[in-house]
Chains A and B, each alone.
Chain A
Amino acid sequence: MSHGNMNLTLKIWRQNSGSEPGQLVTYPVKDISPDMSFLEMFDVLNEQLVAKNESPIVFDHDCREGICGMCSMVINGRAHGPKTGITTCQLHMRSFKDGDTIVVEPWRAQAFPVIKDLTVDRSSFERIQAKGGFISVNTGTAQDANCLPIPKDDADASFNAAACIGCGACVATCKNASAMLFVAAKVSQFALLPQGKVEATTRVKNMVAQMDAEGFGSCTNTSACEVECPKGISLENIARMNREYLVANCVD
């Protein structure tokens, strides 16, 4: 074992399919470098499992640089692990100590059913998006910069909302498994811009209706989502959606 490397005990949720029950299974891992990412540690473990002819642990991942939002894991009771403002792929093993026991579970929500092991089906998010998270008119080629004046604050707020990567950490963290932060980010991103205002009322009504239909919980304003969101999406977006929704229901 080279200097600073760690031996850890992992307790990982194994579940063959959505229709079968799952359980936490204990795996010891040895000689883990503190410079590895959490997912690289999983790669090491999976190679060991394959070598032993056991089935590797299935987990979602793609970009491994914090932009795709795939790497959904609840690590020791926190979405994406003990750090804030990052995804699981951005978490390094130096955040743990030699000898630690680490419990890894999938996102838990009625609207995110487990597919296998740590992988969940997040297509409920896509169905919400499909209800209005877009602009239906062709806005044409890029205009001259100042043709369509947009206040800097609005542009910034819209951009910040658009930073949502659809990872679902907000749902995983929320005590009610509510998708309010995600939906609010998608609504806000458009609501703040003139191009998005045209369809603002139908957008918010349809997206909220789909959110409810998918079986996400409602918002108790505990603000846990904001703390665990890797992209720092703020609660102001939820307030904006509440406002938009109220106005939308008053005007049409």
Chain B
Amino acid sequence: MSNSSSSFLKSSLGKKFIMGFTGLFLISFLVVHVCINACIYFNDNGETFNMAAGFMANNIIIKVVEVGLFLGIIAHIVQALVISMHNSKARPQKYAVQNQAVSSKWYSRSMGLLGTLLLMFLIVHLANFWVPTKLALYGENAKFVGYNVPDGFAGMKENPFEALKTVFANPIIVTVYLLGLVSLFYHLLHGFQSAFQSFGLNHKNYTPFIKSLGFWYSLLICLLFASMPITLFLGLIK
């Protein structure tokens, strides 16, 4: 059995299984994330949002899940690298002419590129919010790594909503976020339904439903995420 499971994980099919599994896990996390973001729409000076954010920052169960989340992202990225490298070796001599547009969607062929853009966005995003939150929470220890909490973040612990407003007052950051979300949209548009296929779930009755669910999920999640920097930038939310 142990022999079998290690050969499963090393096989091309097993790797895609991990890809899909971690991908769907990240997809479920995005639902939680977007719900918390949406708390700003109570338009109550960030009171509800701060409560939700405070819960996420301090609850012990969430802290455990957070570790799982990071492991999931890392596993997804590592598998993505391994699979992409293996795939590019499978065709050493390229075609002089290749008409791929007739047989597949560009975003299905660009998962690696979209994923890389996502990763770059993720780094910016973590540096904007996650790192300062942790530093604000464990501020005393920050000195050891020589990191100064930047202006506007000092209040991250007490009032994350104010920190949000500071970050999204910057049009460059807002643009980076919107571009990150475009990448996310196309990554999910292919990834959502692709994961089910990788698990072997393809059925003439259910696959059309999975595909449209994937489309609406990708669209709604990305629009909701995008609405936050936009409304804050425009000062529509107080």
Name A's B-contacting residues (CB within 8 A). 11, 13, 24, 74, 76-78, 103, 105, 108-111, 173, 175-178, 208-209, 211-212, 215-224, 227-228, 235-236, 238-246, 249, 252
Contact = CB atoms under 8 A, between A and B. Distances in A.
Contacts of B200: 239-246
A108 B94 contact: yes
Given A78-B102, A175-B100, A227-B104, A212 B11 contact: yes
Contact of A218 (B87, B94, B98, B99): B87
A216 B11 CA distance: 12
Contacts of A252: 4
A105 B199 contact: no
Contacts of B157: none
Interface residues of B, number: 44
Given A218-B16, A224-B103, 20 more contacts: A11-B96, A74-B95, A76-B97, A77-B95, A78-B103, A108-B93, A108-B95, A110-B90, A177-B90, A211-B12, A212-B11, A217-B86, A218-B15, A219-B16, A222-B103, A222-B108, A240-B202, A242-B198, A246-B199, A249-B7
B87 A217 contact: yes
Given A176-B87, A224-B104, A77 B99 contact: yes
Interface of B: 4-5, 7-8, 11-17, 83, 86-87, 89-100, 102-105, 108-109, 111, 190, 193-194, 197-204
A11 B97 CA distance: 11
Given A108-B95, A220-B109, A249-B5, A228 B197 contact: no
Contacts, number: 142
B87 A220 contact: yes
Contacts of B193: 221
Interface centre among B17, B190, B198 (most CB of A within 10 A): B198
Contacts of A246: 13, 17, 199-200
A49 to B, nearest CB: 21
Contacts of B11: 208-209, 212, 245
Given A177-B90, A178-B90, A220-B87, A227 B102 contact: yes
